[in-house]
Amino acid sequence: MVYMVDVDNRPVQPGKWVVVNTHPHKEAFAIENLQRQDVHAYCPQIRKRIRHARRELDVLRPLFPSYVFAQIDTTRLRWRSIASTFGVRSLVSFGERPSFLEDGFIHSLKAREIDGAVSRPTTPYDIGQQVRVSGGAFDGIVATIIEMDEKDRLVILFNFLNRSVKMKLPIGDVAAA
């Protein structure tokens, strides 16, 4: 039996996952073509709210745009055929060999799926909560959260020079007041 080795010359067991870089917006096309080759592929999806023509829709979008995961049997060394699959741009690799992911990473993504979409972790803050800005020009100012967007940013409102000022900050730049 032939075992492939990773960068550290450790044997890679059968069924490891590789990261596949796809052409833009071609994740489903790449998965379809990988499955035709009997390669198990996975593209984690996230539910996203979009606005179009005065309507709001919840749609599924890739969690990692232009990337899918493929499980390959390393005893058969089929990873080169994945790189030439329609819809696939390349494999994420170190030098000549693809980089492998542990099963635990994929299983943790699948465990967080609800109705086909990976659920986002709950935010530690709520709308209307008082927070203190940490760092930057407004370090120490207490503000109120008025909105949270899907890119882990908070819209806060605070008084500055007797005026109400609205500002958008990353979630890591605030702390509970």
pLDDT tens by residue, 6-32: 444 444 454 689 999 999 999 999 999
Fold of 130-176: SH3 type barrels. (2.30.30)
Confidence tier at 135 by pLDDT (50, 70, 90): confident
Looking at 37-161, list the stretches that DSSP marks H as alpha helix, in order from N- to C-terminal side.
79-83, 103-111
Nearest to 15 by CA among 69, 80, 68, 72: 72
Give the Cα separation of 20 and 22 in Å (integer): 6
For the stretch 90-111, what's the b/e string if a residue is b when 16 or more beta carbons lie within 10 angstroms of its beta carbon? ebebeeeebebeeeeeeeeeee
51: pLDDT strictly greater than 70: yes
Looking at residue 61, its pLDDT comes to 92
**Mean pLDDT for all residues in the chain:** 84
Question: Please, are residues 40 and 71 in contact by the beta-carbon 8 Å criterion?
Answer: yes
- Which one is the CATH code of 16-118: 3.30.70.940, 3.90.199.10, 3.30.980.20, 3.30.565.10? 3.30.70.940
**pLDDT (tens digit per residue) in 80-129:** 788 889 999 999 988 888 888 888 889 888 988 888 888 876 777 888 99
Q: Is 4 helix (H, G, I), strand (E, B) or coil?
A: coil
